[in-house]
Structure 1
Amino acid sequence: MSEYWSPKPLYRSVVLILDGLGDRPVPELGGRTPLQVARKPTLDSLAAEGVTGIMDVIEPGVRPGTDTGHMALFGYDPYRFYPGRGPLEAAGIGVELKPGDVALRANFATVREEGGRLIVVDRRAGRIRGEDAEALTRYLNERIGSVDDVRVSFHHATAHRLVVVLRGDSLSPRVSDSDPGTAREGEPVREVKPLTNDPESERTARILWKLLLRAHEELERCPVNEERVKRGLLPANAVLTRGAGMVPYGIVPFREQFGATAYLVAEEATVLGVARILGIEGEIPGGSTADLDTDLDAIFNRALDAYRRGYEFVFIHVKGTDIAGHDAKPLEKARFIERVDEAFAGFLSRIDRGKTIVAVTADHSTPCTVRDHSGDPVPLLINGPGVRRDDVTSFDEISCARGGLGRIRGVNLVRILLDLMNKPIMFGE
């Protein structure tokens, strides 16, 4: 039976996660990665005074999503616990879900009726946002409370986006998307179908399709849409769904699972949603843009506040490195790493380094030459009291491969940090 063993002194951990940090050699950088090119005295010093390694966030060769990557970094196996994007979107905007709820990402859209089918004119309804979108969400909730014996709720997210939640018995997330996708505007709304041959999937698909037809009928006569047409705007007369998921049974909240409190400062709702489903508190700070122009001082100031409030784990998520990788901008990726290095130095100067384990890593690689996530391992450094030093002196993908941590998986990180914090999970006597 496992138990927590807590000798003195006890330490805390700060984990900096640079989204998409890992890269591959870039020809225009002389065959080096942006991390190798960047001037980063803080990160290099942490590596030189600590231990390094590389990490397969999920497993070798598997391309992590930002969502599954963070789930692994928080210590939970995504193969077992990943709920799908719908529940993450819901949790990210503060919707409380229960195990068994089915949540879906959705858009307000513009459709027209043609030959008995609904044809997608604009899957974002002219990028509707603000009060119109919020009013339409309220309108749907006032008029559609349930379908058959399943409770239904709509929750406005950002701009044209919303979340649809189904709550009832014998539901399944294994249903198809009704959203045909951006490249297929002009095609019909796709009828929701079960993806597996079981009663729960068939029932859920039938109820969801009935719900979407009902939503179209209600939105067609909504006064908000009548006013939008008068103003020369597209009506938001349909809801398109995708990414159905279900919160799995058996998730033990982070504090119970690992015996430690945790807080996340994140730059996007998906990452915050992962944290909330796992019972980790968190926020998206004002000033963060999830892009290269983000306010790094705002991010680290909020992280410092969490640290001073006594959380034992403080996770810090920064997005810009991933954006530069997707945009194939290696020099901008290197420059952004330099900005992070400087801002992180300021943060580290204001915490108790003698009682803190510091880790720096990534949720996945986003090579500039690929412009997408890849299965390449990511670099990892751990620094702090009691940490064994290796002979690596630079924090980058190639140097860290020689480090004393070797090659680990993402789900190992929290347990390694707990051990260094003198709060290991005992196995056996």
Structure 2
Amino acid sequence: MKLIVVIPDGMGDLRYPELDNLSPTEYADTPGLDEIVRRGQVGLAQTMIDGLPLGSLVGILGLLGYPPLDYFPLGRSIFEARALGIPLADQDVVFRCNIVRVDRYQRLVDFTAGQISETEARDYLATVKLAAPFELYHDLSYRNVLIWRDCPLPAHEMALMEPHESVGQMIDSLLPRYRNRIHMPLTHLMRTSYCQGLMLWPWGPSQAATIPPVSYRLTMVTALSFVSGLTQSVGGQVIIPVGATGYLNSDLAAKCAALIGQLPELDVGIIHCNAPDEEAHVQSLPGKIQAIEAIDRLVISPLLHHLDTLAEPYRLLICPDHYTCCLDGRHRPDPVPFAVCGHQLTPNHHLCGYSETAINRASTGTIKSYDLIPQLSGYRSSAG
């Protein structure tokens, strides 16, 4: 049996008066997702873990079958570095490094610099002068990886504010700290990188970590380097289709086609779709609804219809990695509602479609994220 998973990043949300007191997913037109609910089972998965950052690394690490408390390597930058092929030594510290926009009052106003284009990003980065021990590697749009070679400080003792959680705040209140004191090397890097309203923002420090491989044939289709690097680290295959961007303009049809083409070679296949999270971070209800509808139309519905034509049994799971709320642009720790249909699954509810509120009411308990794939597929990670 094959298990296919769609992760609509940050899809969970609240209800809003301007959406007739519905959530973005409830408001969106999602016939494919609603069909999965009607045909299958629903439940709640606890993807966020007390004591760990609220975010996709914790969520996806768990969904791959790894208890995050045991395997969380401080930050996802280590996986982005691996995806970019950057060689690392044990003493190197790796940071995520956004290009952000600040206003004339030195206030952080956009953690993506307006989803800066590749051309604009490269033009800006050409103005940045870094000296050893720092090295900067460009990834995509506002995303970069910063390496501190042979760093004398342990990553876990650095306190760097997450830019997506800090929009609207003054830069001076957000400067990097080490043991509760402003850390001058990183602060100097930020200050000297300023040019025409743009600035580098290092965060999410991490160091080399070893994760045992999965015991099943895993394929991940994604646009994000950290998801790619994480998958490679556990022995999975990664496909990044041409046109996959992680934004509203991502070629979702290419993602779906890539996974369908790989079906004979996999046991578990995952498509990660990032746009709902990006739109929620900028508090765009219309954008998030558009992202959800596109995932349903171009990924979920075609997958469901194709899987129905196969002789081999399957299960199709739709599970966000976390909530990201348009109300404030932030992640939340709430258990995420999931829906799954397929082989030997009969409905455990009377719902007609996907609804955070309705699934919360219909669920009798919460499953740990790292138990979800093993329970649905029988496959376990080497950690299980």
TM-score normalized with structure 1 length: 0.68
- 1:320 Cα offset (Å): 2.2
| Alpha-carbon separation, structure 2, partners of 1:360 and 1:327 | 24
Which residue is equivalent to 2:204? Answer: 243
Native 8 Å contact 2:49 2:69 kept in 1: no
| Alpha-carbon separation, structure 1, partners of 2:201 and 2:36 | 47
Native 8 Å contact 1:362 1:378 kept in 2: yes
Which residue is equivalent to 2:341? Answer: 383
Which residue is equivalent to 1:418? Answer: 377
Relative to structure 1, the CA distance from residue 416 to residue 97 in structure 2 (aligned partners, 3 Å threshold; closer, same or farther) is farther
Code of the aligned partner of 1:263:
T
401-410 or 342-351: bigger deviation: 401-410
1:355 corresponds to which of 310, 313, 316:
313
Which residue is equivalent to 2:260? Answer: 304
| Alpha-carbon separation, structure 1, partners of 2:93 and 2:261 | 35
Which residue is equivalent to 1:70? Answer: 60
| Alpha-carbon separation, structure 2, partners of 1:61 and 1:30 | 35
Q: For structure 1, list consecutive stretches of 5 or more residues without a partner in the other structure.
A: 1-10, 110-122, 198-204, 220-232
Native 8 Å contact 2:282 2:326 kept in 1: yes
Native 8 Å contact 1:354 1:385 kept in 2: no
Which residue is equivalent to 2:251? Answer: 295
Post-superposition Cα deviations, 1:338-364, rounded to whole Å, max 9, x if no partner, equal 332222222333333742111001011
Q: For structure 2, list consecutive stretches of 5 or more residues without a partner in the other structure.
A: 101-110
2:231 corresponds to which of 260, 275, 282:
275
Relative to structure 1, the CA distance from residue 45 to residue 353 in structure 2 (aligned partners, 3 Å threshold; closer, same or farther) is farther
Alignment: residue pair count:
362
| Alpha-carbon separation, structure 1, partners of 2:28 and 2:233 | 35
Native 8 Å contact 2:4 2:317 kept in 1: yes
Native 8 Å contact 1:63 1:373 kept in 2: no
Residue correspondence of structure 1 range 9-408 to structure 2 within 5 A: 11-59=1-49, 64-83=54-73, 84-97=75-88, 101-106=92-97, 129-130=121-122, 133=125, 154-158=136-140, 162-166=144-148, 172-173=154-155, 174-175=157-158, 194-195=178-179, 241-248=202-209, 250-253=210-213, 255=214, 259-308=215-264, 310-343=265-298, 344-351=300-307, 352=310, 354-393=312-351, 394-403=353-362, 406-408=365-367
| Alpha-carbon separation, structure 2, partners of 1:414 and 1:14 | 10
| Alpha-carbon separation, structure 1, partners of 2:292 and 2:99 | 37
Secondary structure of 1:350's aligned partner: helix
Native 8 Å contact 1:353 1:384 kept in 2: no
| Alpha-carbon separation, structure 2, partners of 1:239 and 1:367 | 25
Relative to structure 1, the CA distance from residue 34 to residue 179 in structure 2 (aligned partners, 3 Å threshold; closer, same or farther) is closer
- 1:404 Cα offset (Å): 6.1
Structure (1 or 2) with the larger CA radius of gyration:
1
Secondary structure of 2:137's aligned partner: strand
| Alpha-carbon separation, structure 2, partners of 1:402 and 1:382 | 17
Native 8 Å contact 2:52 2:58 kept in 1: no
| Alpha-carbon separation, structure 2, partners of 1:34 and 1:362 | 13
Which residue is equivalent to 2:107? Answer: none
